[in-house]
A and B are shown apart, each in its own frame.
Chain A
Amino acid sequence: MRQRPEPATRVFWVLTAVGAAVMAWGIFGLVTNAGPAVTQIKLGRWLLWFVGALLVHDGLIAPLALATGRGLRTVRPIVLRTPLQVGAVLSGMVTLLAYPLLRGYGQTAQGGNTSILPSNYWSGWLTVMALLWLGVAGVAGWRLLRRRHSRQTAR
């Protein structure tokens, strides 16, 4: 990725100062948070989730997405690449969001409350995935046909 050096403008320094002040307010609030035990932040746990989210994304999710992208760039015929990229990204997104629902993580929080996670998330997830890949297959098929057609007319 190309880098173009940016001159340090006045806007840059003003917003850096304002942003740093706002961030400092957040850090101040975080470390001075007090109150009954059940309402506390527990800084160590907070940091674990903050840094953990960063590490899981940068060390796992992004490399996985990059590797998938690299794999899809070798697919032939090349007209299939875009539909597969779109299918892969949307599937990943839907699955990421559906995963905790499929595992039913929230249901233990409030015993006996049937209005939490009330749906059949397996059927929901499968429906979205089926429609998605039906769409991907449709577009891919159409692109293949168009490619064959344009080859024949070129001949």
Chain B
Amino acid sequence: MVRAAGRLAANLARWVATPPPVAPFREGAFRSGLHDEAPAAWLGVALGVTFTVCFVTGLASHLIQNPGSWFAWPARPVGLYRVTQGLHVVTGLVSIPLLLIKLFVVYPHLWAWPPVRSLRHAVDRVSIPALVGGSLFLLVTGVQNTMYWYPWGFFFPPAHYWAAWITIGALIMHIGAKAGIVRRVAAAREPRAAPDLAEADRGGLTRRGVLGLAGAASGLVFLTTAGTTVGPLQRLALLSPRRPSVGPQGFPVNQPAETAGVVQAAMDPAFVLRVEGNLPRPVEFSLADLAALPQREIELPIACVEGWSATARWGGVALVDLLRAVGAPVGGPVFVESLQQAGLYRSTTLNPAHASDPATLLALRVGGEPLHLDHGFPVRLIAPNNPGVLQTKWVARVEVL
């Protein structure tokens, strides 16, 4: 009995020590010298930077759209959201080649034998699938969302948001596990010689070359997509799902009037904008009434969560002028609601900073013409430094809170 148990233990030990006789487990299955800690460390550092940028900018965008009582996004500088969200999307895009090349470099670790060597290695084995799965999930769903391609069957914002927390947690664990390697690689002046492995790579990319290739691939992705937000690169943006100058009146549309179901109500000559809430009595404005109020013209960017942004010259009534005209106090939050009956983005609550900013307009015109129906005719909200989904179109009601 004891002997049988002993034999079993010995067999088990031998089994654990011997890699399974399947290709990826075999000693020497990965002969390229590119599967090395030096390129893995440098690519890891680069990804650490890009993922941090994505996380911080993504968190900002989340908080702007779901503000807690402690968070108030400012109205100035007017183009800040355009920058943070442009960075979010472009940084995510350039992370794709970095991540794929990094995973190529470290791929043999997936087939390490024995599967768990130590407590420390066991922690790796838990955090790395979360890190890799989370990173791939974020990049894939993020890119799909910029393309308006929604095949998942779940709602993108919370799915992407919570995956980001999981991924960043796994990334922190990973940094704890690999900081020593990065330090060692950074301290090594000369690349370590690996002559037995280098033979397989003769004439091909070196370990340094693979870093150059990762940079080139990121650069190529940047050049062919960043024009969605970086104006001068627009003509190069051959692989961008949006062009900031393409759309009615020269900039893109997210939701057209037809799918919003507002065509009839928006074209109705009897249209009125109702202002109510914290004011002496509700007031209704026809289009002629609105045109009779003081008009302002201002250049403001419109910046979408999907990364595209464009600048336009907007004309209309400043919200503060409207509030003064009806005798409402300026300085509190204001709720703005669309003609649209259903939909997640049919209303916005402007925080005090946005509601009292003189650049926040109930716009009637863009580029000197009446708004196109798809841009929110007859009246749309355009506030400085806010995401496009909060720039309510086809505004029917303003409630002073």
Q: Could you tell me the distance between the alpha carbons of A119 and B169 in the complex, rounded to whole angstroms?
A: 38
* Contact, CB under 8 Å: B256 / A97: no
Residues of A within 8 A of B97 (CB): 89, 93
A25-54: CB near B (< 8 Å → 1, else 0) gives: 111011001000011111001100111011
Contacts of B30 in A (CB 8 A): 1, 66
Evaluate whether A39 and B155 lie within 8 angstroms (CB atoms) in the complex, with A62-B107, A72-B204, A119-B243 already known. yes
Contact B176 A11 (CB under 8 A): yes
Rounded to whole angstroms, the CA-CA distance of A30 and B225 in the bound complex is: 31
Q: 1/0 contact trace for B226-264 toward A, CB 8 Å?
A: 000000000000111111001110011111101100000
Q: Which residues of A contact B161 (CB under 8 A)?
A: 29
Contact residues, B120-175 vs A (CB, 8 A): 120, 123, 127, 129-130, 132-134, 136-137, 140-141, 143-144, 147-155, 157-159, 161-175
Specify which chain A residues have a CB less than 8 angstroms from the CB of B176 in the assembled complex.
11-16, 18-19
Q: Are B172 and A109 in contact (CB under 8 A)?
A: no
Asked if B100 contacts A61 (CB within 8 A), the reply is yes
Of the listed residues A65, A93, A124, A128, the one surrounded by the most CB atoms of chain B closer than 10 A to its CB is A93
Q: In the complex the two chains form, is A23's CB within 8 Å of B259's CB?
A: no
B258 engages A111 (CB within 8 Å): yes
Instruction: Flag if A22 contacts B120 (CB, 8 Å).
Output: no
Whether B370 sits at the interface, judged by CB under 8 Å, is no
Q: Are A115 and B166 interface neighbours, CB within 8 A? A: no
- A21 and B169 in contact (CB under 8 A), knowing A49-B152, A54-B136, A89-B217? yes
- Contact (Cβ within 8 A) B168 A46: no
Q: Contact at B32–A69, with CB atoms within 8 Å?
A: yes
For chain A, which range describes its interface: under 10, 10 to 19, 20 to 34, or 35 or more residues? 35 or more
- Judged by a CB distance under 8 angstroms, whether A79 is at the interface is yes
Minimum CB–CB distance for B206 against chain A, Å? 9
Instruction: Decide if A8 touches B119 in the complex (CB within 8 Å).
Output: yes
Contacting pair A6 B120 (CB below 8 A): yes
Is B213 a contact of A50 with CB atoms below 8 Å? no
Q: Closest chain B residue to A55 by CB distance?
A: B133
Known interface pairs A46-B154, A54-B129, A110-B254; A19-B164 also in contact (CB < 8 Å): no
Stretch in contact with the other chain, from B43-51, B75-83, B108-116, B380-388? B108-116
If A39-B158, A39-B344, A116-B241 touch, whether A94 touches B180 (CB-CB below 8 Å) is: no
Interface assignment of A117: CB less than 8 Å from any CB of chain B: yes
For A1, what are the chain B residues with a Cβ–Cβ distance below 8 Å? 30, 35-36, 106, 108-109
Q: Is B265 an interface residue (CB 8 A)?
A: no
Contact with B along A64-104 (1 / 0, CB 8 A): 01100100110001111110011001100110111011000
**Chain A residues within 8 Å of B200, by CB:** 73
B201 within 8 A of A: yes
A133 interfacial by beta-carbon distance below 8 Å: no
Task: Indicate if the CB atoms of B158 and A101 lie closer than 8 Å.
Answer: no
Q: Are B141 and A49 in contact (CB under 8 A)?
A: yes
User: Is A3 at the interface (CB under 8 A from chain B)?
Assistant: yes
The 5 closest A-B pairs by CB, nearest first: A15-B176, A78-B203, A23-B169, A26-B165, A124-B238
Chain B residues within CB distance 8 Å of chain A = 30, 32, 34-37, 93, 96-97, 100-101, 103-104, 106-110, 112, 117-120, 123, 127, 129-130, 132-134, 136-137, 140-141, 143-144, 147-155, 157-159, 161-177, 179-181, 200-205, 209, 213, 216-217, 220-221, 224-225, 238-243, 246-248, 251-256, 258-259, 344, 374
**Chain A residues proximal to chain B, CB less than 8 Å:** 1-9, 11-16, 18-27, 29-30, 33, 38-42, 45-46, 49-51, 53-54, 57-58, 61-62, 65-66, 69, 72-73, 77-82, 85-86, 89-90, 93-94, 96-98, 100-101, 105-107, 109-119, 121, 123-125, 127-128, 132
Can you give 30 contacting A-B residue pairs, CB < 8 Å?
A: A1-B108, A6-B180, A13-B176, A15-B175, A15-B176, A15-B179, A16-B127, A19-B171, A19-B172, A25-B165, A27-B166, A39-B158, A41-B162, A50-B133, A50-B137, A54-B133, A58-B132, A65-B104, A66-B30, A85-B204, A85-B205, A89-B213, A89-B217, A93-B217, A97-B224, A101-B241, A106-B148, A115-B246, A124-B238, A128-B239
Supplied contacts A40-B158, A107-B148, A115-B251, 5 more A-B pairs, CB within 8 Å: A8-B120, A16-B127, A41-B158, A97-B225, A116-B252
